[in-house]
Amino acid sequence: MEWLTAPFEVTFVQRALWGGILVSAICALAGTWVVLRGMAFLGDAMSHGLLPGVALAALFGSNLMVGAVVSAVVMTAGVTALGRTPRLSQDTGIGLLFVGMLSLGVIIVSRSQSFAVDLTGFLFGDVLAVRQQDLLLLATALCAALAVSVLGHRAFVALAFDERKARTLGLRPRLAHAVLLGLLGLAIVASFHIVGTLLVLGLLIAPPAAALPWARSIRGVMVLAALLGSAATFGGLLLSWHLGTAAGATVSALAVCLFFLSHVLSGLRHRPARPASVPVPEVN
């Protein structure tokens, strides 16, 4: 059993595990709504839209997390504003913001001489570099995400299944959508340091999608998604230690593998049984 426990006797791997567990819980809270509402493209756009703020922060020697927060606020405000434009579909607005923010980020990066050193972690993550203050920040983000999820649960449910019903009930679906975008931004900002923006969708979408066939309620999806994300973190760190692979990418890849495994098992569980063959009597 030493191969199973040895990696986690190292302090920085222990911090990486706790960081991954906290990120998994945050992503479960936000990612469940992303999966239920079919917002994967929005999540991808939000994650890549962080690049300008992070690039500016790196260029001026500021905290990368602050830059990510600023970009997340800009993306959230932009998606909310464009979503209210009657002649423009939401996908078109998101796509334009996605391309615009990514282009701006690349332009800023092209002016930076320290891109390879400062921004590689933004793109690919560095889960093994999680510090004690990062864990405190993630714990704070989890508390905020949990508070938003509890307070906005009723509005989020109505928005996910019937926006007109939400408006009839006076739940202010536009405000609920804006708050949901903020929750998504919070999850992405909290996660990008762990697995990077290129891989953040692995923890944001794969665990909730894997939990969906097995849970009987939205809260059940969130809890199971957090457990699956934590399992992917543990397994990914273990595999990366023994195989010498990138830790963040291994965690994300394992989360996606759990998704496929879940749906294969779900398909087998719901496969109709073959009808018993009825013997045909012989005719003399």
Domains of the chain and any CATH numbers: 1-268 (1.10.3470.10)
Q: Average pLDDT of the chain?
A: 82
**Residues 84, 234: Cα–Cα separation, whole Å:** 42
Q: State the pLDDT confidence band at 198, using cuts at 50, 70 and 90.
A: low
pLDDT tens profile 36-72:
888 888 887 888 788 888 878 877 777 777 888 888 8
253-271: average pLDDT: 88
* pLDDT attached to residue 56: 83
- What are the Cα distances from residue 82, in Å, to 95, 126, 197, 210, 227? 11, 34, 23, 31, 35
pLDDT tens profile 240-256:
999 988 888 889 899 99
* pLDDT attached to residue 123: 66
Q: Which of 25-39, 98-112, 130-144 has the lowest mean pLDDT?
A: 98-112
Task: Enumerate the H helices of the chain as residue ranges.
Answer: 2-5, 11-36, 40-48, 51-59, 64-83, 90-110, 115-118, 120-124, 132-151, 153-161, 163-168, 173-195, 200-211, 218-243, 247-269
Q: What is the model's pTM?
A: 0.84
**Residues 43, 58: Cα–Cα separation, whole Å:** 23
Tell me, rounded to whole angstroms, the distance of Cα 125 from its chain centroid: 14
Q: Which of 123, 107, 111, 145 is nearest to 47 (CA)?
A: 123
Helix (H/G/I), strand (E/B), else coil: 87: coil
Q: State the pLDDT confidence band at 284, using cuts at 50, 70 and 90.
A: very low
